[in-house]
Structure 1
């Protein structure tokens, strides 16, 4: 069915309209698990993806570990306790337990579906990691086999609301042209985090779209101060898989060793050094040829850019940089009101990087592992809850079509907005080593930019997507720095140079709301684990 979209000063544009029970926005792991879980409840499901479901996003491009722990009490206890201190004691066991349970169950389902997990010398399958391409190829097949409608290259640009609840979304048809409207009984936001187009591997489609769409309809965010995740990367490539740097030592330009750069605190030492001079690396701790061969098999993508340039990373020095991954490896996102992954807006659910990972990670996470488990579990939780919510309500197809107004934005260049935002979030002396003066000055510039372009709408389809991505990155940066200014301590990955220690009085979460004016409030965290650790 086609419906007209109103456009200021232009002829109306036809749009494709679809009705369903559950709309899933995003085709990464969280989105695929959400869609399959919703469909298993006999809900009619539509999944839209900015790219091609199964091949776009951070997971599809490389291997990832999974927080997969057998239901042995001692192993589970060790797994939950392992990062509590690192995350500033902001995680909660009431979330960790069900996430571990659901991840264990779901990864076992992957094996049943035919995922080729490797085996150890005793022939036992090792289910603690997956290769992204094979994993996501399998998930796309499962989504299609479940009868779910997949709309590739259909980026969502706004949520639709009716009487205070979310009833669908609209967006662009990048290949066919025109727009789409999906009326739905519930929506799951699984559009990923925000890496600010830093060229981190697989992350340029992750521009914070879900944060902006959620905030526009009144959803709250949490943990946005824990967003200063930088990954070690060759200066000439986008590879941000950092596990292999455990076999590296780091050097100055004259090849003198940077002491401590390979330790647990090594990233901060590298960041500090990069403020004044370049840093080089070499995987000279790999040892034997056998170990080197194992590393190549484990992370084949890591070596591709080296091989293309004739560089042997085991013997040759190569320049590295810290590439911002923002909330993709941070923990901030939309605030969840319970294990059903509902947000503060009826009909809207969030999963994966769109949802704050504080419940299982607190203020610190990294690549894969907990992130992969969070995507699996919250995707499943959100999909099931969204289906239940939708099927108990009147069909969304009874609602009228959206009316989307487009206006002339001559003079607004999305590329200039993106560059301006990157100038505020990339520098290590603003975002990594944070201070009141640097954060305040940066936020003032970001707020002024938002006043000029935050509410602008686009004239044409191509301009619309670029502008919305720029606005989403701008909104995400403002959320990050508003929260970072409010947390006057160092906790998790949030480092305040002017407040270098953790303050027990700030053992709480910071909840953000609003767009033009961003309000911040505190939310208490169960103090049990924190008190036990202190004792």
Structure 2
């Protein structure tokens, strides 16, 4: 008779956290603070403490200060960014938690920028009213990791979790493999928390590990998705520049020197940091009509005094970047040409106010569920319009999930894993490694990027082009069964491209269903916002080998902010 031990090494825990970035670490810390006796395990594909985007995005934290108005920011976010698809109750809960999250970083040992007399350096943002930014050193996760370990959290690195394991509708663990040795692992858990990020389709190198692994695993397990059509974040990037310049949408000009924000969105006021859809489409128009290239032309300026005061790691990084810029950057007087790459940020797992998914025993935090939580509304998230919100949402949602999961494991029965399911999952996981020849995952990733990255498919949408993109995805999916991996690292790539293909299809299917334009979702064939028919969230769920789509009305009548009329 088959034994589960024959399928892989069995690791049992009470709470399994999949992802060792800032959200996963915060979840572990908050669980241990709530109940030190709970057994907590973090499993990470990369290295816990350096994984995810938190160490790679400049140390910015955005928050609502204790003396600022939540109502004013809420009004801005819902009216000019989320366009009434926000869960306004959860957004308010998030805002009210943000300043405490800043304080929490200091208590965990992370270095925050401070004035010489020890006060927190805070700067009002130009992109959103009532919001401020603080600054944290880029090694912020190392003291969090150290504290989590001291509190008894176990950490396993270099393990790629592929599938969740279920007992009826309850998630009872996960299965994956060591990307170095190829060893199979089965994790048994009372509660599982997905904290392994969004999907960026490997277009931007700073988030090359963000391949939607948790989103795809949850989808295959039967969890609901929400707001998948808003996984299409684009931002301008300056060619041959160490600072990508993506915070300067106000300073984009054509070859004639015309300011394009003033030309296409005059008097728009704060538009956030990333490219508004209308402006992004206008950049394409400018080039097509012969007024390209597009340049980034900011006024001469220096960063505010003391921004990185007392942050040794990020200060050293800036010194290195300045040296690189002097050696390899632009010569004086050279114009700074830009491109508009895809960031992606598919983050569509549907969660409630405690970050619980539609499956018992499964929570999803941070970038796995930012859009799915509906905190941001009709905008690709993170970061929506507020840079620094990715780290903040990860930590705040981690606390919500941690407290809920801690309560759950106190009452939950031990996990019971099906040998047949685990055996079937293992066979699927390792099939590409056993194949002697086949489709290269590197080639598959390039094909997928050619579908996801172009503006004509994923930003300037239409029924015809969305269906064309879906046909190309179907052609790619037909080749997935013959993906071939020459070693465990390439096996990881095989599963990454499978996950990304699921995220891509979720994005395009939802975009095809939403026959209007709203926020980051723009349809050329339906260019107007349609509040009469589309104050709804789109819900997606696996149904056999198909995706079932439905809608959920926004409970706008109970929310404070409503569309005019």
Cα deviations by residue, 1:387-446 (Å, 9 ceiling, x for unpaired): 322231233388869322133444122122211111111111111111111111111221
User: Is 1:76 aligned to 2:70, yes or no?
Assistant: yes
So what's the TM-score if we normalise by structure 1?
A: 0.87
Match of 2:468 among 441, 457, 465: 441
User: Is 1:165 aligned to 2:170, yes or no?
Assistant: yes
Matched residue, 2:134: 129
Structure 2 unaligned blocks of 5 or more:
123-132, 266-270, 309-313
- Give the superposition deviation at 1:154: 1.4
3-state SS, counterpart of residue 143 of structure 1: helix
CA contact (8 A) 2:296 2:338 kept: no
Change (3 A) 1:144 1:293: closer
Matched residue, 1:20: 13
Matched residue, 2:185: 180
Q: Distance in 1 between matches of 2:358 and 2:170?
A: 10
Q: Distance in 2 between matches of 1:123 and 1:344?
A: 45
Match of 2:506 among 475, 479, 487: 479
Q: Distance in 2 between matches of 1:305 and 1:196?
A: 27
Change (3 A) 1:37 1:121: closer
CA-atom RMSD, angstroms? 3.2
More deviation in 263-272 or 500-509?
263-272
User: Is 1:520 aligned to 2:520, yes or no?
Assistant: no
Matched residue, 1:466: 493
So what's the TM-score if we normalise by structure 2?
A: 0.82
Change (3 A) 1:399 1:512: closer
3-state SS, counterpart of residue 47 of structure 2: coil
Match of 1:375 among 388, 394, 417: 394
CA contact (8 A) 1:61 1:132 kept: no
Match of 2:209 among 197, 205, 228: 205
Matched residue, 1:37: 30
Match of 1:106 among 73, 77, 101: 101
- Give the superposition deviation at 1:157: 1.4
Change (3 A) 1:131 1:241: farther
Matched residue, 2:129: none
Change (3 A) 1:204 1:433: same
Q: Distance in 2 between matches of 1:203 and 1:64?
A: 15
1:355-394 matches, within 5 Å, as 355-357=369-371, 358-364=373-379, 365-366=384-385, 368-394=387-413
3-state SS, counterpart of residue 134 of structure 1: coil
Change (3 A) 1:488 1:120: farther
1:242-261 matches, within 5 Å, as 242-243=246-247, 245=248, 248-252=251-255, 256-261=256-261
More deviation in 231-240 or 421-430?
231-240
CA contact (8 A) 1:286 1:292 kept: no
Cα deviations by residue, 1:26-79 (Å, 9 ceiling, x for unpaired): 11222111121222323111111111122232221132433422345x611112
CA contact (8 A) 1:237 1:305 kept: no
3-state SS, counterpart of residue 353 of structure 2: coil
1:90-489 matches, within 5 Å, as 90-119=85-114, 124-126=119-121, 128-131=133-136, 133-198=138-203, 200-236=204-240, 240=244, 242-243=246-247, 245=248, 248-252=251-255, 256-261=256-261, 264=271, 266-273=279-286, 279-287=293-301, 300=318, 306-311=325-330, 315-327=333-345, 332-336=347-351, 338-357=352-371, 358-364=373-379, 365-366=384-385, 368-396=387-415, 402-403=422-423, 404-405=426-427, 406-407=430-431, 408-409=434-435, 410-453=437-480, 461-489=488-516
Q: Distance in 2 between matches of 1:117 and 1:424?
A: 40
Matched residue, 1:10: none
Q: Distance in 2 between matches of 1:388 and 1:238?
A: 46
CA contact (8 A) 1:63 1:299 kept: no
CA contact (8 A) 1:201 1:240 kept: no
User: Is 1:54 aligned to 2:83, yes or no?
Assistant: no
Q: Distance in 2 between matches of 1:530 and 1:495?
A: 26
CA contact (8 A) 1:59 1:132 kept: no
CA contact (8 A) 2:120 2:134 kept: no
Matched residue, 2:125: none
Number of matched pairs: 514
User: Is 1:508 aligned to 2:528, yes or no?
Assistant: no
Q: Distance in 2 between matches of 1:475 and 1:242?
A: 28
Change (3 A) 1:474 1:132: farther
3-state SS, counterpart of residue 375 of structure 1: helix
